[in-house]
C-alpha cells in the first residue's frame, strides 16, 4: 500500500481515522467507503455527514442548556427544610464561603466551558459553511481547545453523585438529585459528541477551495 | 539457555524508519515524518497539530504504568473513598455506592453516565493497554489485538478520573460545615491513579504499536 500511496496524487490520499494509516481512495468520491488494510476500520476522506451531525448535536445541547441551568441539580433536605441548588448557585455557594479558587474552577467548568463549546462550535460550523478563509490555523487551535476542555463539565455531575451517596442518613439530612442534573448530563454528552463529529479538515478544505 | 532479550524487541526495532508518509489529522496536509529523536515531537508545518511524538522506551514505560494503574484501580474500587461522620453515625462510600444511590433515586441516565466515565471506561482503558502491550513486550501476537487497540481510541475520551477528583474536592468543601469527613484508602489510590493514567496515555506510541499489530503494512 505504501509505494502506491507515495506515488499517487495528493487528492486521492486519505488517512484512517482510527489508526492513521494512509490509503489511496480511487475516484475522489468524498465518502468512498473503503476498509483500512491495517486496522479494518471504515476509511472516510472526511467524517461522514460532519456538518449536519454537529449542527444537530449543538442545537440539542443548546436546548438542554436552558433547563439544565433553571432546574436544581440537587436538593438538600435538612431538619425539615429543603434547599435547592442550581448549577450557578452551587458555584456562588463556594464563593460566599470564601473558597474563591475552587468557586472559580467550578464556575469555569460548569458555566463557562459548556457556553464556550456551544459558541465555538457554532462559529466553526458557520465559518466552514460560508467558506471562510479567515485564520485557519487559529480556528484549528480553537477546535483543539474545545475538544480538550469539554470533559471538565462533568464535575457537577460527580459532586451530585458523591453528595447523594454520602448524605443518605435519612434522619438528619438527605440530598436528592434534581432534574437539572439529567439535563446537565445531556449537555455534557451532546457537546462531547458534537466536538467528536466535527471534522477540522473542513476548515482547510474551504480555505483551499476559496484560494482558487 | 533461554535469553530473555532474544524474545523482546531490541532498541534498534524501537524506532520507526524515518521518511514515512502521514496526513495531518486536523488539516489533511501530507507530510513525511523524518528522524524524530526520542522525546521529540513532529508537528504539521501548516497548522501546528502534533503529527507524531516519540517517547523514550515507550513500550516498557506504557506497560509499567498500565500495570500500576490496574492495581490502583482495584484499590480505588475495593475500598471506601470517603467516610462521613455526622452525629455519631458513620457512612462509608465506595465508588459503586454513589452510582447505586443515583440509580435508586430515579436518575438511571445520570447513574449510567457516572458508571461509564468513572468505572467502565477507565477499566477498559487500562486492561486494553495491557492486552495489547504485554504480548508485544514478550515478542508475541494475540488474535484480536488490532480490534482492542481500536476500542482503546474510542473509549479514551470517556475515561474521566481526573474530573472525578475535582468533583470529590468540591464535595468535600460543600460538606465541611455539615459533617466531619474522613478520607479513605481509595481516595489516595484515585489521587495516584490520575497522573499514572495520564502518563500511560502520553507515553503510548500508537504508530509504533500499529506497525507491530497491524494486519498490513
Q: Where are the domains of chain A?
A: 2-43, 50-211
What pLDDT score does A32 carry?
54
Nearest chain A Cα distance for residue B62, angstroms: 18
- How far is CA B70 from its chain centroid? 10
What is the four-CA torsion angle of A83, A85, A90, A96, rounded to 10 degrees? -30
Taking CA atoms, what residue in A is nearest to B46?
Answer: A137
Nearest chain A Cα distance for residue B64, angstroms: 23
Predicted model pTM: 0.85
Do B29 and B48 contact (CB within 8 A), yes or no?
no
**Interchain proximity A160–B102, CB inside 8 Å:** yes
Residue B174 lies in a domain: yes
Residue B10 lies in a domain: no
What pLDDT score does A8 carry?
47
Residue B36 lies in a domain: no
Do B184 and B83 contact (CB within 8 A), yes or no?
yes
Q: Which has the higher per-residue pLDDT, B131 or A84?
A: B131
Domain count, chain B: 1
pLDDT bucket at B6, cuts 50 / 70 / 90: very low
DSSP state, residue B120: I
Kindly list the residues from chain A whose CB atom is less than 8 angstroms away from the CB atom of residue B150. 18-19, 39-41
The second-level CATH assignment, the architecture, of A50-211 is Up-down Bundle (1.20)
| Residue A184 pLDDT greater than 80, yes or no | yes
Q: The domain containing residue B111 runs over which residues?
A: 57-213
Nearest chain B Cα distance for residue A38, angstroms: 5
Residue B20 lies in a domain: no
Residue keyed to cell 482558487: A212
Say how far apart CA B11 and CA B8 lie, in whole Å: 9
Q: What is the mean pLDDT of residues B113-138?
A: 94
Among the partner-chain residues A18, A22, A200, the one whose CB lies closest to the CB of B23 is A22
Instruction: Give per-residue pLDDT as tens, A2-36.
Output: 334 444 456 678 888 888 888 887 765 555 568 88
Residue B78 lies in a domain: yes
Residue B35 lies in a domain: no
Among the partner-chain residues A39, A154, A165, the one whose CB lies closest to the CB of B160 is A154
Instruction: Give per-residue pLDDT as tens, B67-104.
Output: 999 999 999 988 888 887 777 777 788 888 888 888 88
Instruction: Give per-residue pLDDT as tens, A133-169.
Output: 888 889 999 999 999 898 899 999 998 888 887 776 5
Kindly list the residues from chain B whose CB atom is less than 8 angstroms away from the CB atom of residue A192. 157
Domain of B189, CATH number, reads: 1.20.140
Question: CB under 8 Å to B197, separation ≥6 — which residues?
Answer: B65, B69, B122, B125, B126, B159, B161, B162
What pLDDT score does B183 carry?
83
Instruction: Give per-residue pLDDT as tens, A50-67.
Output: 999 999 999 999 999 999
> How far is residue B182 from each of residues A129, B86, B96, B140, B164, measured CA to CA in Å?
54, 11, 18, 46, 18
What pLDDT score does B86 carry?
73
Would an 8 Å CB–CB cutoff place A209 in contact with chain B?
A: no
Q: What is the mean pLDDT of residues B169-173?
A: 85
Amino acid at each position: 500500500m505504501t509505494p502506491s500511496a507515495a506515488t499517487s496524487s495528493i487528492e486521492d490520499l486519505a488517512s484512517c481515522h482510527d489508526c492513521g494509516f494512509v490509503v489511496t481512495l480511487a475516484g475522489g468520491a468524498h465518502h468512498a467507503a473503503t476498509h483500512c488494510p491495517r486496522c479494518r476500520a471504515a476509511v472516510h476522506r472526511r467524517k461522514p455527514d460532519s456538518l449536519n451531525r454537529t449542527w444537530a448535536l449543538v442545537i440539542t445541547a443548546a436546548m438542554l442548556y436552558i433547563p439544565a441551568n433553571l432546574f436544581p441539580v440537587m436538593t438538600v433536605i435538612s431538619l425539615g427544610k429543603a434547599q435547592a441548588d442550581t448549577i450557578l448557585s452551587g458555584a456562588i455557594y463556594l464563593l460566599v464561603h470564601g473558597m474563591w479558587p475552587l468557586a472559580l474552577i467550578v464556575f469555569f467548568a460548569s458555566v463557562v466551558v459548556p457556553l464556550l463549546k456551544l459558541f465555538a462550535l457554532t462559529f466553526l460550523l458557520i465559518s466552514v459553511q460560508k467558506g471562510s478563509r479567515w485564520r485557519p490555523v487559529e480556528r484549528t487551535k480553537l477546535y483543539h481547545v474545545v475538544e480538550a476542555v469539554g470533559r471538565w463539565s462533568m464535575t457537577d455531575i460527580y459532586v451530585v453523585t458523591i453528595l447523594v451517596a454520602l448524605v443518605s442518613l435519612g434522619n438528619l439530612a438527605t440530598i436528592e438529585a434534581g432534574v437539572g442534573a439529567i439535563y446537565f448530563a445531556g449537555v455534557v454528552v451532546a457537546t462531547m459528541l458534537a466536538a467528536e463529529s466535527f471534522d477540522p479538515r473542513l476548515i482547510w478544505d474551504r480555505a483551499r477551495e476559496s484560494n482558487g | 539457555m533461554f535469553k530473555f532479550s532474544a524474545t523482546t524487541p531490541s532498541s534498534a526495532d524501537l524506532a520507526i524508519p524515518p521518511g514515512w508518509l502521514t496526513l495531518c489529522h486536523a488539516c489533511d496536509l501530507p507530510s513525511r515524518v523524518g528522524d524524530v529523536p526520542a522525546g521529540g515531537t513532529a508537528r504539521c508545518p501548516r497548522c501546528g497539530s502534533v503529527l507524531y511524538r516519540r517517547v523514550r522506551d515507550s513500550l516498557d514505560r506504557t506497560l509499567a504504568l498500565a500495570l500500576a494503574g490496574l492495581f490502583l484501580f482495584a484499590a480505588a474500587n475495593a475500598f471506601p473513598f470517603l467516610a462521613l461522620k455526622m452525629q455519631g453515625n458513620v457512612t462509608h462510600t465506595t465508588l459503586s455506592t454513589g452510582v447505586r444511590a443515583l440509580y435508586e433515586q430515579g436518575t438511571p441516565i445520570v447513574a449510567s453516565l457516572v458508571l461509564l466515565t468513572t468505572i467502565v471506561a477507565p477499566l477498559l482503558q487500562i486492561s486494553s493497554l495491557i492486552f495489547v502491550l504485554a504480548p508485544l513486550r514478550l515478542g508475541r501476537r494475540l488474535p484480536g489485538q488490532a480490534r482492542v487497540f481500536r476500542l482503546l481510541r474510542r473509549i479514551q475520551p470517556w475515561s474521566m478520573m481526573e474530573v472525578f477528583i475535582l468533583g470529590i474536592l468540591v464535595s468535600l468543601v460543600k460538606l465541611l460545615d455539615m459533617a466531619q469527613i474522613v478520607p479513605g484508602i481509595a481516595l489516595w489510590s484515585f489521587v495516584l491513579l490520575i497522573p499514572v493514567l495520564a502518563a500511560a496515555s502520553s507515553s503510548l506510541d500508537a504508530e509504533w504499536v500499529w506497525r507491530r499489530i497491524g494486519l498490513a503494512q
